[in-house]
């Protein structure tokens, strides 16, 4: 065959082109994580992925079992000064206020309408849930998805002025793409609302709706005027945080992931679950150390508190990422 | 380019070989459903798949949105004389009886132990749930999965003597493979237990655990002797039947499937939900008409009752499959 090819000029040209083409590809692929500095976390990710994807390696993992799970708030996008979904709730309360004159005298809504967000949140989880139910229920899943999309199109972050979907971490977008190029399925496992993330996770992260896991309220199937709808009810269904994360992973995925990425103690059990699997496994915590380009917070933060993870993570073999040191850029290029 | 190729004998040979090779493939693929008779249901399936996968067709559906959902009991495998999971429950009660002397005097367990399955079931759903909790909870998800696998290795169907996993429908295995070959993701949406199906759905149906949706009990994340486990609790979490099916579909998939396959009125809402989507859609109900090769039952059956679906299905554009008429074989070849 080789000799036959040697006598065929056009095919030789094609072969040379192909070799050049693939050579270029290989070269381009030699740095799959260009926004990462060449520090330990990047090396750990690349070393792990190469180990589990090399056929014949003792740690080879078949593609069907290559599952990687990512927290969202503080791991894939920012979460300060408040979870973006809470900012959505505040905006919705202001929008809906004319239809709810009673909110003027009813906490926590009254505080929101006075612009006093701190007081609105002083009621803790109970107050947040009350506001979530008032703004997230009473419509169909499709209507809710449309509302979230419209909000994301127009809303801007209070301190950076960016769109919320422009506050995703460029280095993590590269990890998501790198893992998928290596046969991984990438999942979101977030304490945030599952239906709040699905409308944009595919276009922003490349993660389809069936790979988004989050907290949820109950829905009810109804036929309204001959048209079936799933109505959102003001009743919690599942809280996908802390001990809930391994439960949500099992419910939706049904097998143990081999990689987990988080940033707060709310992700501790997810990392614990993933990194106690029998085969090769990898856990990473994003430590927010970058007060200049993003935010710096950990043990004392009211949002995304990271305390136990910092204490126990290293002994458990988890990679602790230092945002200021390990990332060349934080947000996608083209934005400041 | 063409003229250059024309002057190159080895390449011409390669091209001819390739054409012959692909020609053979095309011919082999010309009947993707060999166990189906050439009646209306087969034609409807093939016509639909070709329509939504032909680039440029007005009804073209991008691969990410090609989702097909299948009921399990009575749609992918048999469900007579009782759901196979209920037969598993009976077997477990007999196995566990020595550790539960109190069951001798306690219904419905006492009836099971006397071999009087009819009386055991006379308590309806309440009795079944009580027996399910006693046999499906109190162990980790991993232990439960192992127990189900061991049972399936040894148990035999009471009337056919076959393994339960050999009572799957060959024509439906072909549909699953045909859809996946055309870029579809295939899901199970079953009233049966999600963790009862996951241990074998991948090897038997080619459906990975993350694409199995079913009823579930609650689980709790715990660290036992330093080892994290998900313990199964005797408390219902979700019933994936009737109105629950669209809810389960939304919870796990997050977008509306374009094909749905069922066999009973428990699948009515799933088909209604799927076939009221805006784009192209397809619904099929398996009508069990084959008392010789399988079972014949519909409107009056205690299991897999099909009544409303027979009345309303045709007007809703659903395909009603007549098992006796439309399938050449029922179970995989090599078994009677």
CA–CA separation, B169 and B214 (whole Å): 20
Please name the residues in contact with B125: beta carbons below 8 A apart, sequence gap of 6 or more. Answer: none
The SS3 of residue B306 is: coil
Residue range A223-270, pLDDT digits in tens: 999 999 999 999 999 999 999 999 999 999 999 999 999 999 999 999
Here the ipTM equals 0.90
Angle CA(B207)–CA(B210)–CA(B212) in degrees, nearest 5?
60
Give me the pLDDT at residue A123, please: 87
Q: Which residues of A touch B (CB under 8 A)?
A: 1, 4-5, 7-11, 64, 67, 141, 185, 194-195, 198, 202, 208-210, 212, 216, 219-221, 223, 227-228, 230, 243-244, 246-247, 250-255, 269, 272-273, 276
CA–CA separation, A168 and B38 (whole Å): 53
Q: Which residues of B touch A (CB under 8 A)?
A: 1, 4-5, 7-11, 64, 67, 141, 185, 194-195, 198, 202, 208-210, 212, 216, 219-221, 223, 227-228, 230, 243-244, 246-247, 250-255, 269, 272-273, 276
Mutation target to probe the B interface, by most B beta carbons within 10 A, among A205, A228, A283 is A228
CA–CA separation, B246 and B212 (whole Å): 14
pLDDT tens, per residue, chain B with 336 residues: 333 434 444 444 444 444 444 444 444 458 999 999 999 999 999 999 999 999 999 999 999 999 999 999 999 999 999 999 999 999 999 999 999 999 999 999 999 999 999 999 998 888 998 999 999 999 999 999 999 999 999 999 999 999 999 999 999 999 999 999 999 999 999 999 999 999 999 999 999 999 999 999 999 999 999 999 999 999 999 999 999 999 999 999 999 999 999 999 999 999 999 999 899 999 999 999 999 999 999 999 999 999 999 999 999 999 999 999 999 999 998 754
Task: Using 70 as the pLDDT threshold, list the residues of chain A that sit under it.
Answer: 1-29, 335-336
Angle CA(B294)–CA(B300)–CA(B302) in degrees, nearest 5?
75
CA–CA separation, B261 and B248 (whole Å): 15
Q: How far is CA A292 from CA A164, A297, A324, A325, A331, in A?
A: 18, 12, 8, 12, 12
Least Cα distance to A159 among A22, A36, A294 occurs for: A294
Instruction: Report whether B289 contacts B322 (CB < 8 A).
Output: yes
Give percent of chain A above pLDDT 90.
88
Instruction: Report whether A323 contacts A330 (CB < 8 A).
Output: yes
Q: How many CA atoms lie within 13 A of B235 on its CB side?
A: 6
Identify any residues that bridge with A230 across adjacent strands, giving them in sequence order: A221
Supply the pTM of this predicted model.
0.90
Token pair 């939504």: residue: B52
Give me the pLDDT at residue A30, please: 80
Q: How many CA atoms lie within 13 A of B195 on its CB side?
A: 28
Give me the pLDDT at residue A24, please: 44
Please state the φ and ψ torsions of residue B198, each to the nearest 5 degrees.
Answer: -60, -35
The SS3 of residue B223 is: strand
Q: How far is CA A281 from CA A66, A180, A186, in A?
A: 10, 17, 15
Q: Which of A1, A141, A250 sits opposite B230 (nearest CB)?
A: A250
What are the chain B neighbours of A202 within 8 Å (beta carbons)?
A: 64
Would you tell me how many other CB atoms lie within 10 Å of the CB of residue B197? 26
Beta strands in chain A (DSSP E): 67-70, 185-193, 212-224, 227-238, 259-262, 282-289, 296-297, 319-322
Please name the residues in contact with A242: beta carbons below 8 A apart, sequence gap of 6 or more. Answer: A265, A266, A268, A269
Instruction: Kindly report the nearest CA distance between residue B40 and chain A, in angstroms.
Output: 28
Cα A210 versus chain centre, distance: 14
**What's the start-to-end Cα distance of chain B, in Å?**
57
Least Cα distance to B233 among B145, B142, B134 occurs for: B134
Least Cα distance to B189 among B131, B127, B273, B124 occurs for: B273
Instruction: Kindly give the pairing relationship between strand B212-224 and strand B227-238.
Output: antiparallel
CA quadruple A106, A107, A109, A110: dihedral, nearest 10: 70
What are the chain A neighbours of B4 within 8 Å (beta carbons)?
A: 9-10
What are the chain A neighbours of B195 within 8 Å (beta carbons)?
A: 254
CA–CA separation, A285 and A277 (whole Å): 18
Instruction: Report whether A238 contacts A244 (CB < 8 A).
Output: yes
What are the chain A neighbours of B185 within 8 Å (beta carbons)?
A: 210
Tokens of B198: 């996951």
Please name the residues in contact with B239: beta carbons below 8 A apart, sequence gap of 6 or more. Answer: B191, B215
**What's the start-to-end Cα distance of chain A, in Å?**
56
Mutation target to probe the B interface, by most B beta carbons within 10 A, among A13, A145, A209, A210 is A210
What are the chain B neighbours of A273 within 8 Å (beta carbons)?
A: 221, 228
Instruction: Kindly report the nearest CA distance between residue A194 and chain B, in angstroms.
Output: 8
CA–CA separation, A321 and A309 (whole Å): 12
CA–CA separation, A109 and A132 (whole Å): 11
Burial-class residue B290 by CB neighbours within 10 Å (0-12, 13-18, 19+).
middle
CA–CA separation, A193 and A133 (whole Å): 12
Least Cα distance to A184 among A247, A246, A259 occurs for: A259
Instruction: Give Rg (Cα) of chain A.
Output: 23
Instruction: Report whether B190 contacts B213 (CB < 8 A).
Output: yes
Instruction: Report whether B213 contacts B252 (CB < 8 A).
Output: yes
What are the chain A neighbours of B252 within 8 Å (beta carbons)?
A: 210, 252
Instruction: Report whether A246 contacts A273 (CB < 8 A).
Output: yes
CA–CA separation, B252 and B242 (whole Å): 16
DSSP classification of residue A310: H
Mutation target to probe the B interface, by most B beta carbons within 10 A, among A221, A237, A274 is A221
């Amino acid at each position: 065959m080789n000799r036959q090819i040697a006598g065929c000029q056009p095919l030789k040209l094609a072969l040379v082109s192909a070799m050049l083409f693939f050579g270029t590809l290989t070269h381009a692929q030699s740095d799959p994580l260009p926004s990462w500095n060449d520090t330990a976390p990047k090396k750990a990710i690349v070393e792990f992925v190469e180990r589990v994807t090399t056929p014949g390696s003792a740690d080879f993992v078949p593609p069907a079992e290559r599952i990687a799970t990512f927290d969202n708030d503080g791991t894939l996008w920012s979460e300060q000064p408040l979870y973006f979904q809470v900012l959505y709730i505040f905006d919705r309360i202001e929008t809906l206020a004319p239809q709810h004159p009673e909110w003027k005298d009813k906490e926590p809504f009254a505080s929101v309408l006075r612009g006093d967000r701190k007081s609105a949140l002083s009621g803790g989880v109970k107050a947040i849930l009350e506001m979530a139910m008032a703004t997230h229920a009473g419509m169909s899943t499709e209507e809710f998805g449309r509302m979230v999309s419209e909000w994301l199109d127009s809303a801007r972050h209070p301190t950076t002025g960016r769109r919320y979907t422009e506050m995703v971490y460029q280095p993590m977008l590269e990890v998501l793409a790198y893992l998928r190029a290596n046969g991984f399925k990438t999942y979101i496992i977030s304490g945030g609302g599952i239906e709040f993330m699905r409308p944009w996770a595919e276009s922003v992260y490349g993660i389809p709706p069936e790979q988004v896991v989050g907290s949820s309220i109950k829905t009810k199937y109804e036929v309204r005027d001959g048209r079936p709808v799933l109505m959102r009810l003001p009743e919690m269904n599942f809280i996908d945080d802390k001990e809930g994360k391994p439960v949500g992973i099992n419910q939706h995925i049904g097998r143990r992931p081999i990689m987990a990425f988080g940033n707060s103690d709310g992700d501790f059990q997810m990392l614990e679950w993933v990194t106690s699997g029998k085969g090769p496994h990898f856990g990473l915590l994003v430590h927010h150390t970058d007060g200049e380009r993003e935010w710096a917070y950990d043990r004392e933060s009211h949002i995304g508190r990271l305390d136990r993870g910092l204490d126990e993570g290293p002994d458990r073999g988890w990679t602790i990422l230092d945002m200021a040191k390990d990332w060349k850029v934080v947000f996608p290029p083209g934005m400041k």
